[in-house]
Amino acid sequence: MSTQRCDGCDRRVRLGGGIGDFWSFETGSTDGLTLELADGSEYFLCYDCIDALPDDEEVTRAHVEALPDASDDD
């Protein structure tokens, strides 16, 4: 078990399987995944942040940077 910092809220997120295995969350214990955005950049986000992203438009870096930062609960 390892953790990775969410690029949206800056919290530590539990990681189960390999980062490259996007869809392992269906069976496993990973609390986030790596998203490739429309502009080609990649971010690791927890599910809370993914839920906060719009699903009716292309997600860009600006959306990720606009996510609330929860690092002060660390």
Sign of CA dihedral 61, 17, 29, 56: positive
- In 3D, which of 44, 50, 51 has the Cα closest to residue 19? 44
Q: Which is nearer to Zn ion, 14 or 21 (CB)?
A: 14
Q: Determine, following the binding rule CB under 5 A, whether residue 49 of this chain makes contact with Zn ion.
A: yes
| Residue selected from 6, 15, 35, 59 as contacting Zn ion according to rule CB under 5 A | 6
- Cβ contact 13:44 at 8 Å: yes
Q: Determine, following the binding rule CB under 5 A, whether residue 15 of this chain makes contact with Zn ion.
A: no
| Residue selected from 35, 46, 59, 64 as contacting Zn ion according to rule CB under 5 A | 46
